A and B are shown apart, each in its own frame.
Chain A
Amino acid sequence: MNNTLHQKISQFLDNDLADPEALELLQAIHSDNALNQTYQQYAIISQVIKTGDYIPVKPDFAAQISARIEQEPYHFNPSLKKSAPSRYRWYAVAASVLALSVLVVHYDKQLTPTSHQASMLSMSKPAPPLTNKTASQLAQNQSQKPLNKRINDYLQAHNNSVYTSGETNTAASLTSVTSYNQK
C-alpha cells in the first residue's frame, strides 16, 4: 500500500498522475504525516539533482499557512459565478430604462393634457353653437394664446344648455365631426 502511494508521489512530482488520482494523493499527503515526509524528501532529492543545493523546508510550513488562513475572513466572490450576476445586472438596467421611459411619457402627458383633451373633445363632442363674435375672437387669439388658455376659452364659450333644451341639431354636428376627422 505504502509502496503504491510512494510510486504515486514519484509520478505526481513528474506530472504523470491523472487529475483525480493527483487530487486523492494530495489529500492523503495532507492528512498523513509519514506520506507528507516522503513527499518532502522526494522533492528534496529532485531539488538537489536539479540545483545541486539543498533548501530545507520546515515540517509545519503548510500547517502554519493553513492556521493563518483559518483566521482570514471569507470574502471571495467566486469567479465562476460572476457571469450570472452580470446578466441580472443588465436585466436590471433594462428594467430601469423601461421604467424611466414610462415615467417620462406619463410626465409628458401630464404636461400637455390639454392638447390631447382638445382633440378628444373635438372628436367626441358636437360642435357647439358659437356666436360669430366669440368664434372670431377665438380665431384671432388662437395663434397668440397658449394651448391651455385656448381650451379654457373654448370651454367657457361652449354653452351646454343647448343640448339639454333640444335647441341644437346633434346629427348635423356629428356630421361635421366626421368630416373633421377624415380631414
Chain B
Amino acid sequence: MNSKTRTNEQLDDELVSRVQQGDKKAYDLLVIKYQHKIIQLVNRYLKDPSEAQDVAQETFIKAYKAIGSFRGESAFYTWLYRIAINTAKNYLLSRVRRNTNAELDIDDAEAIENAPQLQGLETPERLLVNQDIVETIQATIDALPEEMRTAIMLREFDGLSYEEIAIAMDCPVGTVRSRIFRAREAINSQLTPLLEHGDFR
C-alpha cells in the first residue's frame, strides 16, 4: 500500500466516522467522491448508462442504511464495491425475471452479465453523442504537446503515480503535476461545448 492509498483511506475513514455520528453532509462527500467509479462498475454489469445510474443510486442508499454496521475492517470503497456488485446482480436477475418469469438465483447473474441479448440497449442518439465525446477527447490528446500527452497517458492509461512519472520523464514531481493539469484543462475546454448540448450535461 503506497502513501497515496493510505491518504485516501484515511479521508474515507474520517467521512464514514462523521456519517456514523449523524453528519449526513459527510455522506454527500463520499457520494461525490465515488459516484463515477460506482456508475462505471455497475454499468459493466448492466450495459445501460441510464439504468446504471439508478442502480448506483440504490447502491449508495443501501450503503447509507448499512453504514452503522461498517467497522472499517476493509476499505470503505471495497465495502461499497461489494454492495454495488450485489445490487447490480440482483437488478439483473429482476430484469431477467420480468422478461422470462424464470426461476433464477444470484449465480445466474454471472451468465446474464455476458448475454448481449439481455443487456440494456443504448439509443442511436446516445451512441452518437458518446462517440462524439470520445473522439473529441482522443483528438485533443493527440494535439497536445508531447510532454503533456506523455504525462497524462502515463497517469491515466498506465496508472503511474506522479513520482513514477517524474522518474520516467526525468523531471520534478511539480512539473508532472502541472503538465497533467494543463492537459486536462486543454481537453476540458474542448469537451465543455459538447457536454452542454448532451442529454445529461
Give the distance in Å from the alpha carbon of A52 to the alpha carbon of B155 in the complex: 15
Determine if A6 is an interface residue (Cβ-Cβ < 8 Å): yes
* B24 and A66 contacting across the interface, CB-CB below 8 Å: yes
Determine if A61 is an interface residue (Cβ-Cβ < 8 Å): yes
* B130 and A53 contacting across the interface, CB-CB below 8 Å: yes
In chain B, what residue has the closest Cβ to A56? B200
* B70 and A49 contacting across the interface, CB-CB below 8 Å: no
Give the distance in Å from the alpha carbon of A39 to the alpha carbon of B68 in the complex: 29
Question: Nearest Cβ distance between residue A1 and chain B, in whole angstroms?
Answer: 15
Binary interface encoding of chain A residues 45-77 relative to chain B, with 1 for a CB under 8 A from any of its CBs, else 0: 111111111111111011011101110101111
Q: Which residues in B have their C-beta under 8 angstroms from that of A41?
A: 188, 191-192, 195, 201
Determine if B80 is an interface residue (Cβ-Cβ < 8 Å): no
Report whether over half of chain A's contact residues are helix, strand or loop; otherwise say mixed: helix
Question: Nearest Cβ distance between residue B121 and chain A, in whole angstroms?
Answer: 15
* B17 and A26 contacting across the interface, CB-CB below 8 Å: no
Q: Which residues in A have their C-beta under 8 angstroms from that of B199?
A: 56
Question: Could you pull out 27 A-B pairs where Cβ atoms are within 8 angstroms?
Answer: A6-B181, A6-B185, A11-B177, A19-B11, A23-B11, A26-B33, A30-B25, A37-B201, A44-B133, A45-B156, A49-B141, A50-B156, A54-B129, A54-B134, A56-B49, A56-B198, A57-B36, A57-B201, A59-B201, A61-B53, A72-B61, A78-B20, A79-B68, A79-B69, A79-B71, A80-B17, A80-B21
Interface residues of B in 20-40 (CB under 8 A from A): 20-22, 24-25, 27-29, 31-33, 35-36, 39-40
* A78 and B64 contacting across the interface, CB-CB below 8 Å: no
Tier of interface size on chain A: 35 or more
Which B residues contact A (CB, under 8 angstroms)? 4-5, 7-8, 10-11, 14-15, 17, 19-22, 24-25, 27-29, 31-33, 35-36, 39-40, 43, 49, 52-53, 56-57, 60-61, 64-65, 67-72, 129-130, 133-134, 137-138, 141, 152-153, 155-157, 161-162, 177-178, 180-181, 184-185, 187-188, 191-192, 195, 198-201
Q: Which residues in B have their C-beta under 8 angstroms from that of A84?
A: none
Question: Nearest Cβ distance between residue B156 and chain A, in whole angstroms?
Answer: 4
Give the distance in Å from the alpha carbon of A80 to the alpha carbon of B13 in the complex: 11
Question: Nearest Cβ distance between residue B112 and chain A, in whole angstroms?
Answer: 20
Determine if A148 is an interface residue (Cβ-Cβ < 8 Å): no
Q: Which of B8, B52, B157, B188 has the most CB of A within 10 A?
A: B188
* B133 and A48 contacting across the interface, CB-CB below 8 Å: yes
Determine if A18 is an interface residue (Cβ-Cβ < 8 Å): yes
